[in-house]
Every structure is written in C-alpha cells, then in structure tokens.
Structure 1
Amino acid sequence: MKKHPAIAVLEFRDIAVGLVATDAMLKRSPIAFLKCGTISRGRFLTLLGGTTASVEEACHEGLLQGGESVLDHVLLADVHPQLYDAILGHRRPVGAGSLAIIETSTVSSNVRAAELALKGTPVDLVELRLADAGLSGKGLSIVHGELHDVEAAVEIAASFLRDAGVEAGFRIIPAPHEALAGHVGAGTRFGSAALLELDGEGDER
C-alpha cells in the first residue's frame, strides 16, 4: 500500500456510535484509506489515512459525531514510516540487543507513545497490537535496540503517558533469551505461536 503522510486513530466506547461517526468522516473528507471494526470490550476502532488536511478534517468530524463516546484518539500529521508499517501489520526482526514493552489502557495512547519513541531514539518497532483478541482493549508495542536507546525510548513514552494521565506499564529485557527473541519476532499472540523445542531437561520416558 502507498504510504500517506497522516493517520488518525479513533476509539469509540459504543459500536453504533463508532459506525455512525465513521460514516460521517467518510462523507466529510476524501481520505485515502480506512480500516475499522469492533475490538474487545465492545468498542469500535477506526483507522484512517491520507493527506494531512483530509485526515485532520475527517478526525474533527469523527470527534464531533462521536462526542462522549470517543474513548481516545490520536492524529499524526507526519507519521513515522516504521509506525505506519506496523499499523498495517508489518513486523521487524529481533536481533541482538534489548527489548522494551509498552502496554497502555487505550490503543491511541500507545500509537502516540510509540511514535514519540521512534522519533526520539534509533530503536526499531518490532510489533504494534491494537486491541486485538486477548488484549482486553489495550494497546501494546515492542521496541528493539541498544540498551541505552531502549531505555531512552521508554522514558520518552513514559513521560508522555504520565502527562496524559494514561494507565500504562513498561518493562525492559536487557538481553532476551534467543528463544524468546524468536517468538517475539514472530508475534506475541499465543494462538499463532509455534511450539519450540529447547535443550533443557525433560522426561526421557
């Protein structure tokens, strides 16, 4: 898919309101792409992209129509390329280095925190999960890089989330086991994870 300069993410508490607001956004502004649907906890998530002007106009309309049903939202006028790719489901491999996990109570806050971390440090975004099955409405991002860069990325994300009053959790794994790194690189969903045979002790019977 062609990259577009701006994206917006809107989370609605109510599915019906989310559908109506998304319809209004589409009718209001000529956006370039749309992805929307229900997520866990009975919420509705809308992702749209295009030119900065079109996305800003659509987002404004969505907020107007959504009203108090809008749980959270984010508008990125100059989205980082890695974040753009991750939102569309692309992944980056995990090599030597450290991992940081950023977990937030909303999707939009995680997207913004990951964007700030990417623009403020040379870390790579391994995975971004947007309230999919098993996350109970949470956002999850995992970044990879040198330990000092990963620590700086977490501090940038944590500072933003503290100021925004968002419930969040952070953990750093300085030197992840190669088995864990491989699993994280392939994806953190248990249902799609492969069983990996290791060299540890087992029952030989």
Structure 2
Amino acid sequence: MTEIDTLGFLELNSIAKGIEAVDFMLKAADCQLISAKASCPGKYYILISGKVDSIDRSISEGARIGGMHVVGKLVIPRINPQVIRAINMTHIPDDTRAVGAIEYYSAAGSIIAADYAVKAADVELISLQLATGIAGKSFVVLTGDVDSVRAAVEAGIEGAKEEAMIINHIVLPNPRKELINSLVF
C-alpha cells in the first residue's frame, strides 16, 4: 500500500493524450490513482497520491507523454488528508455553524486553496468539486465556527493566488439547514 502524503494533478486539453498519460504515470512510479476523467470543456484531469518522490516521477512522466497538451500540473507535498477525501465527494458534518466557499476558474485553484484552508484553521471540508459539469470551474466548501471559516477562506485565497484565478468567495454565518442539504449532489 502506498503511503499518502502528496497529491499530484495533471490537466490536459486532449482526452486521448490524457488516457495515455495515466497509463504511463501509473507504470512510472508507485502511486494511487484517485481520479482520471474527461471533463468540461474537453479537458482530461488526472489526480494521483502517494509519496512525494513517486508523485514527482509520475507527474513528470505524464507531462512528458502529454507534451503540448499539458495545460497544468501540480504536486502538493504534505497534503492534508481531508483534501484527498473531499475531492468530488460531499460530506456534511453534524455541526455547521458557518459555511465558506471559494470558486476558481481551474481545478488546481480549489485543490491548493483547500489544502491551505484546512492547514490554517480548524475547519472541515464539505466538498471539493473539480470541473465536472461546471464548465471547467471548481470550488471548495468548508465549515467550522465563523472566525475559523473566515481565516480558512482567507488562507485558501492567499495560498492559491499565484497558481489560479479566483472567481468569488463567501462566508455565511449560521446557514439554514436547507442550504447545507443542497450541497449534497
């Protein structure tokens, strides 16, 4: 079993090249495939996890195979395990005193922001949605007490500012239960 401490992400603008890159990436190093799929608008996203040296090797091989079709790559060492669990899955904690959301034009933006957010404050990730069915956008939703959510959102925005273009962000104190339930999709 691969030790998970690092997340790797590769984005390509060719689905066929993406499929080929996944095969080479998995053969290049010991890593776990989290997700590999086509998405809007005609891109292919690959997420892997494992030890940092394996992820570096795998992402490098994927980028080599993808060549001119690679539009983004990312390696995040010491990733918070919440980020890996939250990718394209929704978890509603029992206590949601405040909700924060950060929205980006790219999948990489939300991954980076989520990691910075959960490392900066005592919050839980509700959801990390990456580009599927939302025109290539992504967003992260988190919860905790109001001050923690504000601190986490600010840390996420600051942490991702060099890598991704933010669309918007919000912090909602005392959200209604109906809103929380609507986040499960």
Instruction: With the length of structure 1 as denominator, give the TM-score of the two structures.
Output: 0.81
Cα gap change, 1:90 to 1:81, in 2 (>3 Å): farther
CA distance in 2, matches of 1:54, 1:96: 37
**Residue 12 (structure 2) aligns with:** 12
4+ aligned runs moved over 6 Å, structure 1: none
Of 145-154 and 162-171, more deviation after overlay is shown by 162-171
Alpha-carbon contact 2:125-2:142 (below 8 Å) kept: yes
2:157 corresponds in structure 1 to 158
Counterpart residue type for residue 13 of structure 2: R
Aligned-residue CA RMSD in angstroms? 2.1
Are residues 103 and 148 of structure 1, via their aligned partners in 2, closer, same or farther at CA, if it must alter by over 3 Å? same
Letter aligned with residue 10 of structure 1: L
Give the AA of the match of 2:127: E
Cα distance in structure 1, aligned partners of 2:104 and 2:88: 19
Name the structure with the higher strand share. Answer: 2
Aligned to 1:192: none
Contact residue 88 and residue 130 of structure 2 kept, 8 A: no
1:147 aligns with 2:146: yes
Q: How does 1:77-88 map to 2 (within 5 A)?
A: 77-87=77-87
Cα deviation 1:86-111 (Å, max 9, x = unaligned) = 12635242524111111111111210
Structure 2 counterpart of 1:32: 32
- Corresponding position of 1:172: 171
Equivalent residues, number: 185
Structure 1 unmatched runs, 5+: 190-205
Instruction: Say whether the 8 Å CA contact 2:104–2:164 is kept in structure 1.
Output: no
Runs of 5+ unmatched residues, structure 2? none
**Amino acid of the structure 2 residue aligned with 1:136:** A
CA–CA distance in structure 1, aligned partners of residues 175 and 29 of structure 2 = 45
Does the CA contact (< 8 Å) of 1:109 and 1:166 recur in 2? yes
Tell me which amino acid in the other structure corresponds to 2:120.
G
Query: Which residue does the alignment assign to 1:126?
Result: 126
Asked which structure has the greater CA Rg, the reply is 1
| TM-score scaled by length of structure 2 | 0.89
Aligned to 2:100: 100
